Structure 1
């Protein structure tokens, strides 16, 4: 049995651990949402890798379509991919779940982070932001590459 004088210390330590690690636990999507979002991201990234930028915009979330026109999207992706070259390898590093995203309405968002290698740009970081839309389908709401 733990002496009474140490009881408060244990309670405080457990409370601190809950404060530190609690939010991290809730940032992981449940497995079903994670699988659905992963499938949507894979479809989207496959289109980008195939140079089908118009089609990638067409299947994206309405939020992305509101922020970027199809012509702007195609132009930006054409420039980015002409600089980086074709994809050689992509490895998913992590995934997180949030109910808010910068400059976006509240909802359900999954952010996926990848380490990628392109023919010219050997080391790149890709981020795909997916959102659960009103029809209960995960769609890409943002794509960034550094």
Structure 2
């Protein structure tokens, strides 16, 4: 039964990522930052582009909440199993499970989780993370052992096969 649940969860994540990958990945910058030369500002997008971004934000928020639910259920290894090769090259499965478990055990159970916020980043070669387009989904999460909400972050990378995959999970 556990194996069936694992396959179902991974299939759900893959479906979500696959559905997103079939759409062009819009790359505008958030409104708070001026758009780089050659890229439109948010207020210069067409209604169709805005709608596509809103749908992608909703889809990626849902995928991030699924990742957070896996972590909540102590199924951290499943997150690593479905992750981007870029993440797998940086951290081993055992180390990822160990670090997330330590962080989560220290914080305790989830009490509340705020609505996710989505941002996008483009990293070029030579930066601290592997080159590529990333979507970051963060939530202010309240844990039983922490007085203040903690920023819970799930990052996704658009891999070479045009599929969004988890590239990171962190708590700060």
With structure 2 as the length reference, what TM-score do the two structures score?
Answer: 0.64
* Equivalence for 1:39: 62
**Greater Rg over alpha carbons, structure:** 1
Greater Cα offset, 131-140 or 42-51: 131-140
CA shift for structure 1 position 40: 2.3
**RMSD across aligned C-alpha pairs, in angstroms?**
2.4
> 1:15 corresponds to which residue?
none
Partners of 1:41 and 1:139 within 8 A in 2: no
5+ residue gaps, structure 1, are 1-19
Please name the residue that 2:75 is paired with. Answer: 52
In structure 1, what is the Cα distance between the partners aligned to 2:164 and 2:115?
18
Q: Mark the CA change 1:104 to 1:21 in structure 2 (over 3 Å): closer, same or farther.
A: closer
Could you tell me which residue of structure 2 aligns to residue 125 of structure 1?
151
Structure 1 equivalent of residue 134 of structure 2: 109
Whichever structure has more helix as a proportion of its residues is 1
Three-state SS of the structure 2 residue aligned to 1:135 is: coil
* TM-score normalised according to structure 1 size: 0.74
Extract unaligned runs of 5+ from structure 2.
1-31, 36-40, 44-49
Distance 1:36 1:137, change over 3 A: farther
Aligned residues: 126
Name 2:7's counterpart in structure 1. none
The answer on whether the counterparts of 2:61 and 2:118 sit within 8 Å (CA) in structure 1 is no
Partners of 2:141 and 2:151 within 8 A in 1: yes
Q: How does 1:16-31 map to 2 (within 5 A)?
A: 22-23=34-35, 25=42, 30-31=53-54
